[in-house]
Amino acid sequence: MSQRALKEGRKGARETQSQKKSTSEMKKAGLVFIPCPGIGHLVSIVEFAKRLIDRDDRFSITILVIKPPSSHPSIDSYTNSFSASYPLIQLIDLPQLHPPNSLELSNSHENYLTLYIESFKPHIKDVLGNLIGSTHSHPNSPRLVGLVLDFLCLSMIDVGNEFGLPSYLFLTSGAACLGLGLYIPTRHDRVSTEFSESDPEFLIPGFINPVPPRVLPSAVFNKDGGYAALLKLGKRLRDTKGIIVNTLLELESHAISSFCDDQTPPIYTVGPLIDAKGEAQNKLGSPWSHSKNNNIMKWLDDQDPLSVVFLCFGSMGIFGAPQLREIAQALERSAHGFLWSIRVPPTTTTQGKAENPEEMLPDGFIERTRGKGMVCGWAPQAEVLAHKAIGGFVSHCGWNSIMESLWNGVPLVTWPMYSEQQLNAFTMVRELGVAVEMRLDYRGGGFGGDVGDLVMADEIERAVSCVMVSDSDVREKVKEIGEKSKKALVEGGSSFNMIGKLMEDMLLNV
C-alpha cells in the first residue's frame, strides 16, 4: 500500500470514528416515566427502566412519582433503596395535592384515581418544560424522546403533545387486559351504556373463550364514573405511539396476534418484569412481620421440595376474622405444609399498635400446626416463590404476583379480589391452563373496605389439594412457561428482541 493510500485510509478511519462519536452523542435519549400512585405499579415500571438502562446507556430516565392520596411510606423506602445504584434513573417526587372528595372515592375508585392523576397535569408540564430547557442550555444533555405512561395516566398524552413528545403506554397487566381496554370503546359505539352482570358472555379480542361478565373489573358496571373513566382511557389507547406490555410472547401469543391491525399501535412484549430481589416487598411489612421474616427462609430450608403451599394476597389483600378462621381450618385439615402471609386490617388497638394476626386465628391453631405450617406477616414473596420447598401459590392474582409465580414454575390457586384480578384469574385458568380455580369472581377482601363473600374451608382445602398434585397438567404447563420466561429475556429471546426493537424505535424520535 502506498504512503498516500495509507494516509487516506487513516483519514477515513478518523472520520468514521468521528462520525460514530457524533452519532453516539446525538443519540442520547431521555424518557419520562409516569406510573400510577401505587407500589405495585411503581415496582413494575422501575424494573422496566432498569432493563432499558442495562441494555443501552444512551438512555436516561426520569420517573415522576405521584404519591397516593393517603400516606404510603413504603414508596419512599423503595425508591431510596435503588436510586443510588442507577444514576441514569432520576426520581422526581411531585408535590402532594389535595385528592378529590371522598364521595368520588365511594362512587368509583378508578374515577377517583384518574381525577387525582389529572390534577397533576400543571406540575408535570412544569417538569417537562424544565427538562427540555435544560437540554437546550446543555447540548450534551439527553434529548427527550417520549413519555411512558401507566394506563390510568393516559390523560398525560395531552401534555406530551404540547411539547411534541410521543407517548407510549406501559401496561402493568397482561395482554388480555389490553384486549378489554380496546374492546370497551368499540362496544360503546354500539351499546352506549355500562356493562351489566346479566349480559351474555362477551367475545373480546385477545381471548380464545367467551368472557363471562362476572370476571370483568367492577368498574365496567359502575354508573357513577367508573365506566366513564375506563371508556375515556380506552379511547386514548390508539393515541399512543406504542404499547409496552409486561408479558412474554410465548405466554399470550394468541392475544398479541389478535391485536395486529392497522389501528392498533405497535405492541412490545418486554416481560416478565419482576422484582426478583424483592426490594419493594421487603419495604411493606410491619415490625411484627419483619421480626418473623428472618425465620421464614430458614424454616423453608427444612421442608421437603414442593411440599409447602404459600398463601399471600398482595399489598391490599385483607381478610376479616371469619375468613381467616376458614382458611385456618382448611390448612389444618390439609395434608400439606403451608406458609401463610397475613396482612392485618387497618385498625389499631387503643395503644396505637397494629393488631397481631395470630390473635384473629382459632384458639390453639398455631400450636396444633407447629412444624407443619408457619404464619407470618409480610413475607419476602419473590424469595419465597423461588424456594424449592414451595409447591403451590394461593394468590390474589395481581399481575406482578402472577409473573413471579410463573417465572419460578409455581402453579397458582386463584383468589382474585379487585381491579383486573378477576380477569387475570380467568386468563390463567381458562385461557392458559396454568392455575387451579378456587374462585374466578370473588370480590372484596380489603380493597375499598369491601368484605367479600365468605369462602368456606372445604372449598379452600379442595383447591390446595388440587394445586399440590405433583404430576398435574397445570404443574407441567407452569414449569414449561417458567423455562420460556427465562429464555425470553436472554439474548435472542422474544422479550430481549422486543426491547431492542422498542429502543430503536424510540431513538428514531431523537
Of the candidate ranges 16-30, 171-185, 273-287, 489-503, the one whose mean pLDDT is the lowest: 16-30
Residue 2's pLDDT band, with cuts at 50, 70 and 90, is: very low
Mean pLDDT computed over 339-357: 63
Of the candidate ranges 85-94, 387-396, 413-422, the one whose mean pLDDT is the lowest: 85-94
Quote the percentage of the chain above a pLDDT of 90: 73
Distance in angstroms (rounded) separating the CA atoms of residues 81 and 482: 28
Of the candidate ranges 242-246, 259-263, 353-357, the one whose mean pLDDT is the lowest: 353-357
Radius of gyration of the chain (CA): 24
Mean pLDDT computed over 293-314: 93
- Average pLDDT of the chain is 88
Distance in angstroms (rounded) separating the CA atoms of residues 19 and 230: 48
Is the per-residue pLDDT at 281 higher than 90? no
Q: Hey, how many other C-beta atoms are within 10 angstroms of the C-beta on 2?
A: 7
Is the per-residue pLDDT at 356 higher than 90? no
User: Does residue 373 contact residue 339 with C-beta atoms inside 8 Å?
Assistant: yes
Residue 9's pLDDT band, with cuts at 50, 70 and 90, is: very low
pLDDT of residue 14: 42
Distance in angstroms (rounded) separating the CA atoms of residues 57 and 393: 37
Residue 289 vs residue 273, higher pLDDT? 273
Question: Which residue ranges form the domains of the chain, and what is each CATH number?
Answer: 25-275+488-507 (3.40.50.2000), 286-486 (3.40.50.2000)
pTM for this prediction: 0.90
**3-class DSSP state for residue 411?**
coil
Phi, psi of 248 (to 5 degrees): -125, 150
Is the per-residue pLDDT at 276 higher than 60? yes
Phi-psi sector, 57: left (phi>0), alpha (psi -120 to 50), beta:
alpha
pLDDT of residue 3: 42
Phi, psi of 182 (to 5 degrees): -75, -30
Q: Hey, how many other C-beta atoms are within 10 angstroms of the C-beta on 271?
A: 32
Residue 447's pLDDT band, with cuts at 50, 70 and 90, is: very low
pLDDT of residue 240: 98
Quote the percentage of the chain above a pLDDT of 70: 86
pLDDT of residue 18: 38
Distance in angstroms (rounded) separating the CA atoms of residues 273 and 171: 11
pLDDT digits (tens, 9 = 90+) for 118-146: 999 999 999 999 999 877 677 778 899 99
**3-class DSSP state for residue 34?**
strand
Is the per-residue pLDDT at 372 higher than 70? yes
Is the per-residue pLDDT at 425 higher than 50? yes
pLDDT digits (tens, 9 = 90+) for 178-227: 999 999 999 999 999 999 999 999 999 999 999 999 999 999 999 999 99
> Measuring CA to CA, which residue among 427, 363, 360 is closest to residue 412?
427
Phi, psi of 443 (to 5 degrees): -135, 145
**3-class DSSP state for residue 139?**
coil
Residue 44 vs residue 451, higher pLDDT? 44
Of the candidate ranges 145-159, 340-354, 379-393, the one whose mean pLDDT is the lowest: 340-354
Amino acid identity at 75 = I
